[in-house]
Amino acid sequence: MGTAHIYDVIVIGAGPVGENVADRAVAAGLSTVIVESELVGGECSYWACEPSKALLRPVLLRAEASRVPGLDPAVAGPLDTAAVLAHRDRMSAHWDDTGQVEWLASAGIELLRGHGRIAGTRRVAVDTPEGVTVLLEARHAVAVCTGSRAALPDLPGLDELRPWTSREATSAREVPERLVVVGAGVVGTEMATAWQGLGSQVTLVARGDRLLPRMEPFAGQLVAEALGAAGADVRLGVGVARAVRDAGPDGTVRITLTDGTELLADELLFATGRAPRTDDIGLEAVGRTPGEWLTVDDTLTVTGVPGDWLYAVGDVNARALFTHQGKYQARIAGAVIAARAQGTALDSTPWSPHTGTADTAAVPQVVFTSPEIAAVGLTTAEAGRTGRRVDVVDQEIGNVAGAHQHTPGYRGTARILIDPERRTVVGATFAGPGVAELLYSATVAIATEAPVDRLWHAVPAFPTISEVWLRLLETYRG
């Protein structure tokens, strides 16, 4: 391998999280190299956030427009699938990372393409596409930002089955006539919504008794009803017992469910969770187990590794598997790396730039289904499991005038959870058209621990959906 190339900071993984760690390090005057084995820009840019929302936006907009007087006949026909897929391709930069590579160069971040593995304390070995192994050494920090991948079930013949994961679901070149989606979470419900709207006959299969099981029950119920109304077949309480694909590139997938029912599909999507991309990054060199999630403290430093030099940022640490939370963690990690490199003491106060708190206490999430689901903080079930006493306040969003200006016959529900002793909001869930825009106000309320008596003086504009905040607070105050 020869002599090591020395940098202040080495980042493994050039997705949004790795890019932000590297950018913060360079901004602090630290020489930084980023290692990437696939496309610079990562999962979010090419196979997750960007393409999935490009597929969903026309579907969701048509669903809303179909309920608006004067527009409903105009949107009755099928979507222009070719135009939607072409827009998806543009939003994914046609799976070309030239623009992202140019941004790295403009930011002063060096890029090394190849597969990086930890090779000891502050050392990383990179196998390049040219067949050369390059040894890197960091003066201060190595940040693992390798993200997560789709977790597949343990089914016989999986290779021959050729199932879709989230990557295939967001990058498919054609609309499958019949699509079976396995999984009731965000990926499953979003992709069921998208492909049903684009012309597939979708069957969604879920082992549990409701969709979106980690959210408030009314959220999953509304999504299930909307999928059914759109023509999808939602089957709860069942799983896949067996699946085989007929011979040939376009072979039919034959699926047997645990209740004995048989389904035929052109494609089968498994949306059954995520696993960390840590199975081949050299964790054994630092006494950790390949394939495990990396536990970190609130400075994003990997626990159990001496020396405060190894960081795990983003999905790989399992704190909050969202791009926006990974970028938040990157800002924290960047500040910590810079402070330690400069010999500056870390500030450990709750609002410190060196302490990650928003990825545990106030994690916002939007599910871009029909209707939209937006949530932050605790759910009622989570509060119950942890013994947290909360007051639950519900309000039908359709009771506010702004909702009917948005969509006539508006159906949706808002719920906030209030700590009765501190009188602060600790959780919020909104389900209905356009509710994503309510989420930031709820996140601010939870993150700042603003008392409800103070929120009473935050006046929502009329007529907007945000009036539901006033109704929730009125209900609570009595």
Q: Which residues of 211-238 are buried (b: 16+ CB within 10 A; e: fewer)?
A: bbeebbbbbbebbbebbeeeebebeeee
Q: Please, which pLDDT band fits residue 71 given cuts at 50, 70 and 90?
A: confident
Amino acid at 210: R
Domain with CATH 3.50.50.60 in the chain: 5-45+93-149+276-341, 158-272
Burial class (CB in 10 A: 0-12, 13-18, 19+), 459: exposed
Distance CA 329, CA 364 (A): 14
- Mean pLDDT score across all residues of the chain: 95
Q: Please, which pLDDT band fits residue 147 given cuts at 50, 70 and 90?
A: very high
**Structure tokens that stand for 459 in this block:** 């006046």
Q: Which residues of 144-183 are buried (b: 16+ CB within 10 A; e: fewer)?
A: bbbbbbbeeeeeeeeeebebbbbebbbbbeebbebbbbbb
Task: Phi first, then psi: give them for residue 477, nearest 5 degrees.
Answer: -75, -25
29-53 tens-digit pLDDT: 999 999 999 999 999 999 999 999 9
Distance CA 456, CA 452 (A): 6
Q: Please, which pLDDT band fits residue 478 given cuts at 50, 70 and 90?
A: low
Distance CA 352, CA 255 (A): 52
Q: For 81-85, 293-297, 330-334, 353-357, which range has the lowest pLDDT when averaged over its residues? A: 353-357
Task: Specify the DSSP class assigned to residue 74.
Answer: G
- The CATH fold of domain 158-272: FAD/NAD(P)-binding domain (3.50.50)
Mean local confidence (pLDDT), 96-103: 98
Are 312 and 300 within 8 A, CB to CB? yes
- Please give the pLDDT value at position 370: 95
- Please give the pLDDT value at position 351: 78
**Structure tokens that stand for 366 in this block:** 């939007």
Q: Please, which pLDDT band fits residue 322 given cuts at 50, 70 and 90?
A: very high
Distance CA 75, CA 54 (A): 18
411-425 tens-digit pLDDT: 999 999 999 999 999
Q: Please, which pLDDT band fits residue 1 given cuts at 50, 70 and 90?
A: low
SS3 breakdown of the chain: % helix, strand, coil, rounded to 5?
35, 25, 40
Report domain 5-45+93-149+276-341's class: alpha beta
Pick the CATH number of 371-477 from 3.30.2350.10, 3.30.390.30, 3.40.1650.10, 3.20.20.70: 3.30.390.30
Distance CA 38, CA 35 (A): 9
- Please give the pLDDT value at position 349: 82
Find, among 178, 152, 153, the residue nearest to 258 by Cα. Answer: 153
323-370 tens-digit pLDDT: 999 999 999 999 999 999 999 989 888 778 998 988 888 999 999 999
Q: Please, which pLDDT band fits residue 219 given cuts at 50, 70 and 90?
A: very high
Distance CA 121, CA 40 (A): 26
198-216 tens-digit pLDDT: 999 999 999 999 999 999 9
- Please give the pLDDT value at position 250: 84
Q: What percent of the chain has pLDDT over 90?
A: 90
**Structure tokens that stand for 385 in this block:** 């499991």
Q: Please, which pLDDT band fits residue 477 given cuts at 50, 70 and 90?
A: confident
Q: Please, which pLDDT band fits residue 407 given cuts at 50, 70 and 90?
A: confident
Mean local confidence (pLDDT), 277-306: 97
